[in-house]
Amino acid sequence: MLDKSGGFILSIFIGPGRPFSSWADPRVRSPEEDAAGILSNIPATIMDKEGFWMKKRAFLVVSVVLALSLVLAGTSIAQQKKFFVISTGGTGGTYYPLGGILAQALTEKVPEVVTTAQAGQASVANCNLIRDKQIESAFVQSNVAFNAYKGLEQFKDKPATNLRFIASLYPETIQIVARADSGIKTVKDIKGKRLVPGDRGSGTEVDALNVLGAYGYTYKDFAGVDWLSFSGAAQRLQDKQADVTFTTAGWPTAAIQELAIATKITVVPIEEAKIKDLTKKYPFYSKIIIPKGTYKDQEKDVATITTMAQWVVGAEVSEDVVYKLTKALWETGAAKMANAHAQGKNVQIKTALAGMAIPLHPGAEKYYKEAGLIKAEPAKKAAPKKK
């Protein structure tokens, strides 16, 4: 059995009525050294009276039990580690690569918390997973996090009231991409075409419906609608099985980059008047420009709207864990993301609380107070004693 120090207390019977005990410490000595030490504690009378075969049998028993002790000690150490998942998005988007970089940085900085990133179905699905306590944290769009917490739109029947905020990461841009030979130049031109509005139930689909609604369109106004991931949508356009798709992600987006190399594309702008309508109706949107040259053969700046990508977590995750991971994000994670991905350069502590529309997790709050982003409340003075 294991004692409090992590060693292994060995009690065996080497003959009728002849028990002995010794202590093996797998952290300090080798199994061979422990075996020798234990054998040295076997009563001499046993060795003298029962001979060499008894020593041989005892050594075998000791070796087996020591092996088990090492397994148990390893299990005990493993049990001390915590496991923490960041659910991201499809492999063709921005969530997935940045999530992988962040997870690695966090595990290196906080080794007692093993952080892993997994591909997911993006914002809406990620909020549902946190609500159902199937994962600890995720990357989501700020507008979807708000809807999930408040129980709006897709979440009206099952709100995710346990969502808590850790940080805003970078702006996610609504990118409308069409095949160049589709004849689509403006959003008005997409009516009657074959549309991919993103994955079903994703944050991208939410954005697509918001933009379409601003123009008075519904899915009934299209020749066909198919719900696919960024990579799946890009493949459909490349194969001439779709005409236009929506992608909400930080630019440049890998799936669009690859599509632009394989097929000539048009990045479709949103009209200024519609941008004003959208930002007025949905305050989590703001105007942004996709600069020319972002994608192959993109010769002009493109006006569109953006929302913030955020890292959110379940309220049930401990304050200590979230504090350590938030601290690690800004001490090492952000720099590593900046070195590895174009959008990583936009992950900056000065915008860490931008667009926060759900409650801040106490662990993250503790860090931001230490960093000076949130003013700590002054300590309350004790009431004077009555004379």
Q: Looking at the structure, do residues 289 and 167 belong to the same domain, yes or no?
A: yes
User: What pTM, to 2 d.p., does this model score?
Assistant: 0.66
Query: Which of 45, 80, 115 delimits the end of a domain?
Result: 80
Quick check: 179 and 264 in contact, CB under 8 A?
yes
Using CA atoms, how far apart are residues 296 and 311, in angstroms rounded to an integer? 30
Residue 381 covered by a domain: no
Q: Which two tokens stand for residue 296?
A: 């192959």
Residue 168 covered by a domain: yes
Q: Looking at the structure, do residues 61 and 89 belong to the same domain, yes or no?
A: no
Q: Looking at the structure, do residues 207 and 299 belong to the same domain, yes or no?
A: yes
Contacts of 345 (CB under 8 A, 6+ apart): 338
Using CA atoms, how far apart are residues 221 and 208, in angstroms rounded to an integer? 13
Domain hosting residue 355, numbered range: 82-371
Q: Looking at the structure, do residues 287 and 246 belong to the same domain, yes or no?
A: yes
Q: Looking at the structure, do residues 133 and 219 belong to the same domain, yes or no?
A: yes
Residue 2 covered by a domain: no
Residue 380 covered by a domain: no
Q: Looking at the structure, do residues 366 and 241 belong to the same domain, yes or no?
A: yes
**What is the pLDDT at residue 136?**
98
Burial group, residue 281, by CB count within 10 angstroms (0-12, 13-18, 19+): exposed
Q: Looking at the structure, do residues 61 and 203 belong to the same domain, yes or no?
A: no
Residues in a beta bridge with 248? 174
Q: Looking at the structure, do residues 61 and 113 belong to the same domain, yes or no?
A: no
Angle, CA of 213, 219 and 225, to the nearest 5°: 135
Residue 134 covered by a domain: yes
CA 163 to chain centre: 14
Residue 3 covered by a domain: no
Residue 245 covered by a domain: yes
Query: Which of 39, 61, 80 delimits the end of a domain?
Result: 80
Q: Looking at the structure, do residues 107 and 139 belong to the same domain, yes or no?
A: yes
Alpha helices by DSSP H, listed for the chain, are 31-40, 44-50, 52-80, 95-109, 123-131, 142-150, 203-214, 230-238, 254-262, 272-281, 319-328, 334-340, 362-371
**CA nearest neighbour of 137 among 169, 174, 178, 92:** 169
Q: 288 by DSSP, 3-state: which?
A: strand
How many domains does the structure of the chain reveal?
Answer: 2
Using CA atoms, how far apart are residues 251 and 237, in angstroms rounded to an integer? 19
Q: Looking at the structure, do residues 72 and 187 belong to the same domain, yes or no?
A: no
Q: Looking at the structure, do residues 114 and 183 belong to the same domain, yes or no?
A: yes
Q: What is the CATH number of the domain that holds 193?
A: 3.40.190.10
**CA nearest neighbour of 353 among 329, 333, 374:** 374
Query: Which of 36, 55, 80 delimits the end of a domain?
Result: 80
Q: Looking at the structure, do residues 97 and 183 belong to the same domain, yes or no?
A: yes
Per-residue pLDDT for the chain (387 aa), expressed as one digit of tens each? 434 344 433 333 334 433 333 333 333 344 444 444 444 444 444 444 444 445 445 444 444 444 444 444 444 444 578 999 999 988 888 899 999 999 999 999 999 999 999 998 889 999 999 999 999 999 999 989 999 999 998 899 999 999 999 999 999 999 999 999 999 999 999 999 999 999 887 889 999 999 999 999 999 999 999 999 999 999 999 999 999 999 998 888 999 999 999 999 999 999 999 999 998 888 788 899 999 999 999 999 999 999 999 999 999 999 999 999 999 999 999 999 999 988 899 999 999 998 888 999 999 999 999 999 998 665 444 455 554
Residue 13 covered by a domain: yes
Residues in a beta bridge with 137? 86, 313
Looking up tokens 């993006």, which residue turns up?
122
